[in-house]
Amino acid sequence: MAEKNKIRGNLVVFVVGQSQIQRTLKQMEQLDSLRSAPHYFGAIVPAQKIIGTEERTIRGQKIGFTVKAYMPDVIIAEAAAELDDIFNENNLDFREEMANNCREILQKHKVRKETDEEYSVWCVGGYHGSPDTFLIYGDKIAGFLKSEKLPLDEKEIEKTLEISIKYAQNDLTIIDWDGAFVFDPQNHFGSALEMFEIANAQLLRYRILDNELEQRMKRVNQLLKEMDGKKLALKSREIKQVVRELIAIRSASVLEFESTERDIKLIGDWYSARLYDLIAKKFHFDEWRQRIHLKLDSIEDIYSMISENFNVSLRARLENISLIGWLILMVGWFILIVFEFANLAK
């Protein structure tokens, strides 16, 4: 019985970050689809590429690290360890050390320190019967998923365990913000792990885009405040340049996000598609999209306001130039008339 024995398992910890450089990498071997996916699964799922592997020792245990990439600049450092007792409370500290080592490895690839996504997947396999047997450890499962050592309230534990998905009778995947538990008697964890990595990469892109839009909007607002009549033309050109950059970021990012999500939904592997959809809800992708779209709408409003003000200012300057031109012309005609009268008087 599960309650009388230590439960062996595996812990996979990965950290996703954005590299400051872009490069071409050799193609990684496609992970097999383990849920009866059609032949086009490998061509549709965003392809991972491998950078390299290394081995490190943590608490006397040798841990394998794999460095992957989603082209052109998203890097993943992934660590995998075997655990004699997956529900041991010390595993949270062990997980933290694995994550810190992942971040150290990411720094070798010029990954930005200020933004990354960390995730842990606790894997249990090789059992017989229903995975519900392991729910007697529900408090530990919920605590591990939330990286929380304090005892959780029963309602919080129930809410955490509710976010789950089953494919066959004997498997179960429980999903939370910081991690997931995957129970599979056949030890088929590869496809689920890949979905978690894709989702975290997508979340990273949302966060980066949101931050970039925020910084650009602050810059535009600052320029608007600095504008005055004497420097109107100069500032308008600078603002329009910033807005053009915003529009370029918007176009590229929105196309990338929509393409990734569209391709995921087209996967014939129904388990992977449903799993990704559940992860997306847990990661609040809809809220991220709404947040970004609001900022993009604000950018369009700012661009329209700038264009209108610039056009009005330009028309005013042209009218003033035209008026000055007429005045100069009238003065010129007046001087000519004076000279003509002077010549006649002679």
> Which range among 46-50, 62-66, 108-112, 334-338 has the greatest average pLDDT?
62-66
The 10 Å CB-count burial string (b at 16+, else e) for 83-121 is beebbeeebeebbebbbebbeebbeebebeeeebbbbbb
- Threshold 0.85, pTM exceeds: no
Domain that holds residue 229: 203-328
Judged against a pLDDT cut of 50, whether residue 331 lies above it is answered with yes
Contact 84, 9 (CB under 8 A): no
Model pLDDT, residue 292: 83
Percent of the chain scoring above 90 in pLDDT: 41
Report the candidate in 53, 56, 28 with the shortest Cα–Cα distance to residue 42: 28
Helical residues (DSSP H) of 48-189, grouped into ranges: 91-107, 138-145, 154-162
- Residues 216, 190: one domain? no
- Residues 151, 37: one domain? yes
Per-residue pLDDT tens over the stretch 58-102:
999 999 999 998 877 899 999 999 999 999 989 999 999 999 999
Is residue 337 in some structural domain?
no
Judged against a pLDDT cut of 90, whether residue 300 lies above it is answered with no
- Residues 146, 213: one domain? no
Query: What does pLDDT average to over the chain?
Result: 80
Please report which confidence band the pLDDT of residue 304 belongs to, taking 50, 70 and 90 as the band edges: low
Separation of first and last alpha carbons in the chain: 129
Instruction: Report phi then psi at 340, rounded to 5.
Output: -65, -45
Is residue 175 in some structural domain?
yes
**What average pLDDT score do residues 164-190 get?**
93
Model pLDDT, residue 267: 59
Instruction: Report phi then psi at 8, rounded to 5.
Output: -75, 150
Q: Which of 134, 162, 197 is the last residue of a domain?
A: 197
- Residues 219, 290: one domain? yes
Per-residue pLDDT tens over the stretch 2-21:
445 789 999 999 999 999 87
Residue 343 CA to residue 63 CA, distance in Å, equals 105
- Residues 166, 266: one domain? no
- Residues 21, 127: one domain? yes
Q: Report, in this order, helix, strand and coil percent for the chain, each rounded to 5.
A: 55, 20, 25
Helices 138-145 & 91-107 angle (0-180, nearest 10): 20
Per-residue pLDDT tens over the stretch 213-229:
888 777 777 766 765 54
Q: Which of 197, 224, 254 is the last residue of a domain?
A: 197
- Residues 186, 86: one domain? yes
- Residues 177, 256: one domain? no
Q: What is the pairing mode between strands 172-175 and 48-58?
A: unpaired
Number of domains in the chain: 2
Is residue 341 in some structural domain?
no
- Residues 134, 93: one domain? yes
Q: In the numeric block, which tokens belong to residue 105?
A: 């490895």
Judged against a pLDDT cut of 70, whether residue 121 lies above it is answered with yes
Residue 226 CA to residue 20 CA, distance in Å, equals 31
Exposed, middle or buried: residue 156 (CB in 10 Å: 0-12, 13-18, 19+)? middle
Q: In the numeric block, which tokens belong to residue 311?
A: 């056009």
Sign of CA dihedral 221, 226, 227, 233: negative
- Residues 81, 165: one domain? yes
Is residue 21 in some structural domain?
yes
Is residue 300 in some structural domain?
yes
> Element (H or E) spanning 62, and its range?
strand 61-70
Please report which confidence band the pLDDT of residue 29 belongs to, taking 50, 70 and 90 as the band edges: very low
Is residue 31 in some structural domain?
yes
Judged against a pLDDT cut of 70, whether residue 39 lies above it is answered with no
> Which range among 27-31, 182-186, 303-307 has the greatest average pLDDT?
182-186
Is residue 335 in some structural domain?
no
Is residue 344 in some structural domain?
no
- Residues 191, 217: one domain? no
Residue 170 CA to residue 1 CA, distance in Å, equals 16
- Residues 49, 6: one domain? yes
Residue 27 CA to residue 337 CA, distance in Å, equals 85
Judged against a pLDDT cut of 50, whether residue 30 lies above it is answered with no
Q: Which of 178, 197, 216 is the last residue of a domain?
A: 197
